[in-house]
Amino acid sequence: MLGGMSESKRLAAVGRTVNDAEWEAISARRTKGRPFLFVVTSTGIVCTPGCPARSPGRDRVRIVSGLDEGLAAGARVCLRCRPDRLFGAASAPSSAPVQTAIARLTAALASGDEVPTERDLAGELQVPERRLRELFRESLGVTPRAWLSARRAEMLRSRLADGQDVSAALYDTGYGSSSAAYEAANGELGMAPGRYRGGAVGESIHWTIAPIPEGVALVAATERGLCSIRLGHDAEALAAELRAEFPLATLARDDDALAGVASIVSDLAVGRRRPEADSLPIDVYATAFRRRVWEAMRRIPFGETRSYREIASVVGAPGAARAVGTACAQNPIPVVVPCHRVVGSDGSLHGYASGLARKRQLLDAEAEGVAGGGATSAARPAILSQFTPD
């Protein structure tokens, strides 16, 4: 309580009322045009006009001049539209300590030296330990420890992919024991290393077919989340590709179990907004870098695009536009992980696993969906509950 004011009263006094043009942009979820920020007084959240969350009532909207004004009044950053990523430039944290810390960790990992702890790093960089964690979270979305474990997992994965045997790869990447690696692998890699190497032996994968414009999508999931989406013209051919990718898994078509996810894929492909897609769990084996790229793609608002270069800078690897392109091309969950929203700096379309015509179709469908008010499908199946946690 600040001076006896309740939070909603304090927020109701922040900034100024919304004008007609702004209100129009907010209610139409318009992402183009002059950007601005507003606080939703009922939820205490700072949003941008394109926010996919439910539109607030007009009397609950207060326009603020910047993120700081909203945060100072006690509002929080919206996790859906992330105004801090779009408008945080002025108040963005310096990424220098993060870059230095990463260089230090990478060198230690590569040389097999003892890896500095968060406390060691903070001491070397002369920032408080807690601040270092904050800076990491703000620029990479993870703590230094989580980054390190993802990086180790990435090294492990590339050694396994090179054909090294599991125990030697574990030893080389500094895992103390195989149980530590498997534990990390569950969090960082999706499927455990041995399973991946073995063609997903022992995994049980369900799949279904979803209609999309001029074709079909095969949607496949383990009990932990989506593991593959394939776009094409022939369901049989896509099923054969799935078997080739996971030769030792138990595959079963199950239209009922995956009906909710299938409807999301179908809707997205015709340009219908399905915000639930952003929270669908995925279960794929990937390097930490690719995972970051995919997460960044999932944050590109429906109907918008970003360049490879912009994504590279969002994931903290400016200059790695080419690697971002590769990560896009190898995205195993197209449509749900919207790699089609990543285009050349000049707007040109590049590599899409199922062809540029499909990429163009998805972009056009979204553009039409946005122009048509970005209709959201009313049905909201209990898609998340069908995946058992862990």
Catalytic residues: 47, 339
Q: Which is nearer to Zn ion, 47 or 218 (CB)?
A: 47
Q: Which is nearer to Zn ion, 12 or 53 (CB)?
A: 53
Residues in region 37-96 near Zn ion by CB under 5 A: 47, 51, 53, 78, 80-81
Q: Which is nearer to Zn ion, 64 or 181 (CB)?
A: 64
Q: Which is nearer to Zn ion, 81 or 251 (CB)?
A: 81
Closest approach, Cβ 86 to Zn ion, in A, equals 10
HEC profile of the chain: CECCECHHHHHHCCCEECCHHHHHHHHCCCCCCCCCEEEECCCCEEECCCCCCCCCCHHHEEEECCHHHHHHCCCEECCCCCHHHHHCCCCCCCCHHHHHHHHHHHHHHHHCCCCCCHHHHHHHHCCCHHHHHHHHHHHHCCCHHHHHHHHHHHHHHHHHHCCCCHHHHHHHCCCCCHHHHHHHHHHHCCCCHHHHHCCCCCCEEEEEEEEECCEEEEEEECCCCEEEEEEECCHHHHHHHHHHHCCCCEEEECCCCCHHHHHHHHHHHCCCECHHHHHCCECCCCCHHHHHHHHHHHCCCCCCCEEHHHHHHHCCCCCCHHHHHHHHHCCCCCCCCCHHHEECCCCCCCCCCCCHHHHHHHHHHHHHHHHCCCCECCCCCCCHHHCCCC
Smallest CA-to-CA distance from 265 within 239, 300, 230, 225 is with 230
Amino acid of residue 308: Y
Q: Which is nearer to Zn ion, 77 or 184 (CB)?
A: 77
> Which residue in the block uniquely carries the two structure tokens 């300590």?
97
Q: For Zn ion, what does the binding mask look like between residues 141 and 180, x meaning CB under 5 A? A: ----------------------------------------
Q: Which is nearer to Zn ion, 14 or 269 (CB)?
A: 14
Contact 82, 35 (CB under 8 A): no
Closest approach, Cβ 95 to Zn ion, in A, equals 24
Report residue 18 as tokens. 């919304």
What's the alpha-carbon Rg for the chain, to the nearest Å? 22
Amino acid of residue 209: I
Closest approach, Cβ 83 to Zn ion, in A, equals 7
Q: For Zn ion, what does the binding mask look like between residues 282 and 321, x meaning CB under 5 A? A: ----------------------------------------
Closest approach, Cβ 47 to Zn ion, in A, equals 3
Report if residue 249 touches Zn ion, rule: CB under 5 A. Answer: no
Give the CA count within 13 Å in the CB-facing half-sphere of 29: 23
Cα–Cα distance, 69 to 15 (Å, whole number): 8
Site for Zn ion (CB under 5 A): how many residues?
A: 6
Closest approach, Cβ 53 to Zn ion, in A, equals 5
Q: Which is nearer to Zn ion, 152 or 299 (CB)?
A: 299
Closest approach, Cβ 50 to Zn ion, in A, equals 8
Report residue 375 as tokens. 């209709």
Closest approach, Cβ 186 to Zn ion, in A, equals 31
Q: Which is nearer to Zn ion, 230 or 299 (CB)?
A: 299
Closest approach, Cβ 81 to Zn ion, in A, equals 3
Please report, as ranges, the residues that interact with Zn ion according to CB under 5 A: 47, 51, 53, 78, 80-81
